[in-house]
């Protein structure tokens, strides 16, 4: 079965980017356009813990890994 985790999906996306972090997208109507992607640095576990403590929200483990 294919790996469909957030990390594997992002790795696949990053692998499709050109040297300028652009990717060619085709719409369902067949039109093609270029989109530029940027990625921020990951957050820290401490920042995530602080957020969950302050808000009372829980964050799924896979999403924590993504952040």
Q: How confident is the model at residue 1 (pLDDT cuts 50, 70, 90)?
A: low
Q: Where are the beta strands (DSSP E) in 1-67?
A: 22-26, 32-36
Q: How many other β-carbons are positioned within 10 Å of the β-carbon of residue 26? A: 9
Which run of H or E residues covers position 34?
A: strand 32-36
Task: Give pTM, 2 decimals.
Answer: 0.56
Cα-flanking dihedrals φ and ψ of residue 8, to 5°? -70, -35
Give residue for tokens 């992607």.
Answer: 37
Reply yes or no on whether the pLDDT at 2 is more than 80: no
**Contact at 8 Å (CB) between 2 and 59?**
no
Write the pLDDT tens digit of every residue in 27-48: 999 999 999 998 888 899 999 9
- Dihedral, CA of residue 25, residue 27, residue 30 and residue 31, to nearest 10: -70
Q: Where are the domains of the chain?
A: 6-66
């Amino acid at each position: 079965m294919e790996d469909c985790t957030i990390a594997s999906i992002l790795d696949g996306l990053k692998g499709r980017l050109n040297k300028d972090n652009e990717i060619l997208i085709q719409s369902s109507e067949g039109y093609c356009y270029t989109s530029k992607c940027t990625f921020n640095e990951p957050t820290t576990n401490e920042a995530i813990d602080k957020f969950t403590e302050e808000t009372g929200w829980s964050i799924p483990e896979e999403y924590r890994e993504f952040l």
